[in-house]
DNA sequence: GACCAGGTAGCAA
DNA sequence: TTGCTACATGGT
């Protein structure tokens, strides 16, 4: 299945497991065993479209700052570099920035020190949009299950040497789904949002505006997309690192550790957090989120 | 059996 | 604008 193999070395530390399993992306699966359970150094697989081709990828961590990429296509390497931010930034500079700006050096420093290789992923837009529409009022484990259900029912199947992989469906493929079918896949009330949003989404023409505010507004036109979901899409699917999605975990972290950012409005918390931490505020959010959840 | 999970839409005031 | 409430589903 994989005739291409590459090593990617990062300038700074990379923690593959915590990056992929910290609720930023639901597009990867462990090769053996369930996600979000104890395991030392799992291999991850995904299957996706790139330039109209279906690409299968297997990823393993080989040292504290390198991964091995196996793929059926040469550009499997490019996909991994984009997803994990090989060229976009130096993680130590990002971490220095948010720790220096922190008003509660205790918790932020602790979170960064606990997960020094945690990065922000950069995944394709449409799968990220649908994944986070599914995420409302759901546990991370079940979101992952819903995404896998969508892949298996509507995505392209890639089969070779006894292993079977499914790509997340394109908007065109997913447009065949009905609300009834999606309810059978346990999407609950989100089924209608997914059908509606998929119908509105034109994969070729949709382009995220460059300004954060305009981009957020354009995402919120889709059904099931409010501020929090839009912000997740911007951060994990749009590469906008200044954006801070505020959910129940961040809300309680703010109440406990950052009272100066607190407000009745999650949107106001988000903007205060963004304003304070600046360009890398989304990283600050990711460290706090993962740290709170793994307590 | 209540309560909660990476919230949002729809409606009233 | 702000403040309710219903919404599917499964785990604790």
Q: Does the global pTM surpass 0.95? A: yes
Any strand B atom closer than 7 Å to A285 CB: yes
Neighbours of A162 (CB within 10 A): 6
- Checking each nucleotide's C1' against the CA of A188, the nearest proves to be C8
Cα-Cα end-to-end distance for chain A: 39
What is the pLDDT, as a whole number, of residue A21?
A: 97
Whole-angstrom CA distances from A192 to A134, A199, A228 are 11, 11, 19
Q: What is the nearest nucleotide to A265, using C1' and CA?
A: C2
Q: What's the Å distance between residue A189 CA and nucleotide C8 C1'? A: 5
Q: Which pLDDT score is estimated for A295?
A: 78
The percent of chain A in helix, strand and coil, each rounded to the nearest 5, is 45, 15, 40
Round to a whole number and report the distance in Å from the CA of A220 to the C1' of C2: 19
Distance in Å from C2's C1' to A70's CA comes to 52
Helix (H) or strand (E) holding A77: helix A76-84
Q: Which nucleotide in the DNA or RNA is closest to residue A139, CA to C1'? A: B5
Please tell me the predicted confidence (pLDDT) of residue A204.
86
Chunked in runs of 10, what are the mean pLDDT values of chain A (295 residues)? 94 97 98 86 94 93 98 96 96 98 93 98 98 98 98 93 91 98 98 98 91 97 98 98 97 95 96 97 98 92
Checking each nucleotide's C1' against the CA of A250, the nearest proves to be B6
**How far does the CA of A266 sit from the C1' of C1, in Å?**
15
How many Å does it take to go from CA A188 to C1' C5?
A: 17
Residue A294 confidence (pLDDT): 92
- The pLDDT value recorded for residue A226 is 98
**CA separation for the pair A40, A18 (Å, rounded):** 11
Protein-strand C interface by C-beta, 7 A: A 137-139, 142, 183, 186, 188-189, 192, 264-265
Cβ of A155 less than 7 A from strand B: no
CA atoms within 13 A on the CB side of A244: 29
pLDDT number for residue A22:
97
A56 CB neighbours strand B below 7 A: no
- What are the helix (H) ranges across A91-124? 91-101, 105-114
As ranges, strand B nucleotides with an atom below 7 A of a protein CB are 4-9
Nucleotide nearest to A266 (CA to C1'): B7
pLDDT of residue A112: 98
């Amino acid at each position: 299945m994989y005739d291409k193999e590459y090593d990617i070395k990062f300038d700074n530390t990379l923690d593959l497991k915590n990056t992929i399993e910290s609720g930023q992306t639901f597009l990867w699966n462990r090769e053996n065993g369930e996600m979000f359970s104890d395991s030392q150094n799992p291999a991850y697989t995904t299957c996706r479209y790139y330039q109209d081709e279906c690409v299968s990828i297997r990823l393993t961590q080989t040292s504290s700052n390198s991964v091995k990429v196996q793929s059926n296509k040469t550009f499997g390497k490019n996909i991994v570099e984009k997803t994990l931010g090989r060229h976009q930034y130096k993680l130590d500079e990002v971490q220095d920035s948010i720790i220096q700006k922190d008003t509660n050096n205790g918790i932020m420093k602790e979170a960064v020190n606990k997960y020094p290789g945690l990065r922000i992923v950069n995944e394709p837009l449409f799968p990220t949009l649908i994944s986070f529409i599914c995420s409302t009022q759901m546990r991370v484990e079940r979101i992952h299950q819903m995404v896998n259900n969508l892949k298996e029912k509507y995505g392209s199947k890639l089969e070779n040497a006894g292993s079977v992989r499914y790509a997340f469906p394109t908007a065109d493929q997913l447009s065949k789904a009905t609300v009834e079918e999606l309810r059978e896949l346990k999407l609950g009330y989100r089924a209608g949002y997914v059908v509606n949003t998929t119908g509105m989404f034109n994969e070729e023409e949709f382009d995220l505006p460059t300004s954060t505010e305009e981009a957020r507004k354009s995402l919120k036109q889709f059904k099931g997309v409010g501020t929090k979901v839009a912000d997740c899409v911007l951060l994990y699917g749009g590469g906008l690192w200044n954006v801070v999605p505020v959910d129940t975990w961040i809300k309680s972290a703010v109440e406990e550790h950052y009272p100066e950012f607190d407000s009745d409005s999650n949107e106001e918390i988000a903007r205060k957090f963004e304003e304070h931490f600046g360009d890398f505020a989304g990283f600050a959010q990711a460290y706090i989120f993962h740290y709170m959840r793994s307590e």
